[in-house]
């Protein structure tokens, strides 16, 4: 078993990685990105939020660092922040939504750890999109739930993603 090289949080925060990495307990964790399915779906989601940013009063930000605890950072595939949230370089206030898009190399354990970190940060809406099986999930502390309506929504807001429409657009891009 090999041991990881630990780096101080200050070094992580001052270094640009391509693609960006998560930072957990002093260790850099590579993120699975770079596949066409992942990239296309990420572009679709960001575009939907960009198009509706004024009406929904949010900004959709791809790959923006989130400080999930005092010394741990995650980089969700798409982070949805409120228009009224602080505009810091790094998200420190729980965003409205964190969205993870599955890549072929992702494991359930990795995804579960990310979801748990977002929950610990106070994120109320965590969604996972699976471009291979054309499914979307609402993630909670105890389950990954496919919405019966086929929509990912934020209650009491106009925010709604219709999964069939998103995956039809994805099919056009692949």
CA-CA-CA-CA torsion sign (108, 111, 112, 113): positive
pLDDT on residue 91: 97
pLDDT on residue 1: 46
CA-CA-CA-CA torsion sign (156, 159, 165, 171): negative
User: What is the longest distance spanned by two Cα atoms in the chain?
Assistant: 51
What is the C-alpha separation between 98 and 78, in angstroms, rounded?
6
pLDDT on residue 3: 58
pLDDT on residue 18: 87
Q: Is the pTM of this model over 0.95?
A: no
CATH number of 33-173: 3.90.1570.10
* Residue 107, both tokens: 């494991």
Total residue length of the chain: 174
pLDDT on residue 59: 97
For the chain (length 174 residues), average pLDDT per consecutive 10?
Answer: 76 91 93 88 98 98 96 96 96 98 92 97 98 97 97 98 98 94
pLDDT on residue 31: 87
DSSP 40: H
DSSP 139: E
């Amino acid at each position: 078993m090999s041991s990881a090289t630990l780096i101080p949080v200050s070094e992580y925060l001052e270094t640009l990685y391509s693609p960006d990495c998560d930072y957990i307990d002093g260790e850099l964790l590579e993120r699975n990105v770079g596949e066409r399915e992942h990239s296309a779906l990420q572009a679709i989601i960001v575009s939907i939020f960009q198009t509706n940013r004024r009406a929904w009063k949010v900004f959709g930000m791809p790959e923006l660092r989130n400080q999930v605890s005092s010394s741990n950072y995650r980089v969700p595939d798409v982070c949805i922040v409120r228009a009224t949230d602080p505009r810091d370089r790094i998200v420190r206030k729980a965003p409205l939504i964190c969205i993870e898009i599955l890549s072929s190399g992702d494991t359930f354990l990795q995804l579960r750890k990310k979801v748990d970190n977002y929950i610990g940060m106070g994120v109320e809406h965590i969604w996972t999109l699976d471009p291979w099986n054309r499914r979307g999930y609402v993630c909670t502390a105890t389950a990954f739930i496919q919405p019966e309506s086929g929509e990912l929504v934020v209650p009491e807001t106009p925010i709604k993603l219709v999964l069939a429409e998103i995956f039809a657009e994805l099919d056009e891009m692949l």
